[in-house]
């Protein structure tokens, strides 16, 4: 194999990989609904142990507003932020449940 066919093969592989990743990056209503449902589940889980962080509800409201406008990419990002905060709040509450003064 000479250099030219190798170069063409490598460039073709790169273009196919970029095209495939762009296809996976498509955000639609079903992607939003899944992200929102997961965030709500974590919000309830965090609240059940007293670990819901302050902004989780705000992010979920903003995600709903963005979805109503049809901006599902923003809505998914906001829902994922809410899920992350809820998950971290849950873990923090569990990690610190026995914390306190030791006197």
Structure tokens at 19: 């095209």
Residue 18 makes CB contacts below 8 A (sequence gap 6+) with none
d(Cα 43, Cα 8) in Å, to the nearest integer? Answer: 50
Sorting pLDDT into bands at 50, 70 and 90, what band is 11?
Answer: low
- What's the predicted TM-score (pTM) here? 0.72
Structure tokens at 58: 């705000």
Sorting pLDDT into bands at 50, 70 and 90, what band is 22?
Answer: very low
Using one digit for the tens of pLDDT, what is the confidence trace for 26-40?
Answer: 889 999 999 999 999
Mean predicted confidence (pLDDT) in 83-89: 97
Report helix angle 29-48 to 56-68, nearest 10: 160
Using one digit for the tens of pLDDT, what is the confidence trace for 30-68?
Answer: 999 999 999 999 999 999 999 999 999 999 999 999 999
Domain boundaries, the chain: 26-95
């Amino acid at each position: 194999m000479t250099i030219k066919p190798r170069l063409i093969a490598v460039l073709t592989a790169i273009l196919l990989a970029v095209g495939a990743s762009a296809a996976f990056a498509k955000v639609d209503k079903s992607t939003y609904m899944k992200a929102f449902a997961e965030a709500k589940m974590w919000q309830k889980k965090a609240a059940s142990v007293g670990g819901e962080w302050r902004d989780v509800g705000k992010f979920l409201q903003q995600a709903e507003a963005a979805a109503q406008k049809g901006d599902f990419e923003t809505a998914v990002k906001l829902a994922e932020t809410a899920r992350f905060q809820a998950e971290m709040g849950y873990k923090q509450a569990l990690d610190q449940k026995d914390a306190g003064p030791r006197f």
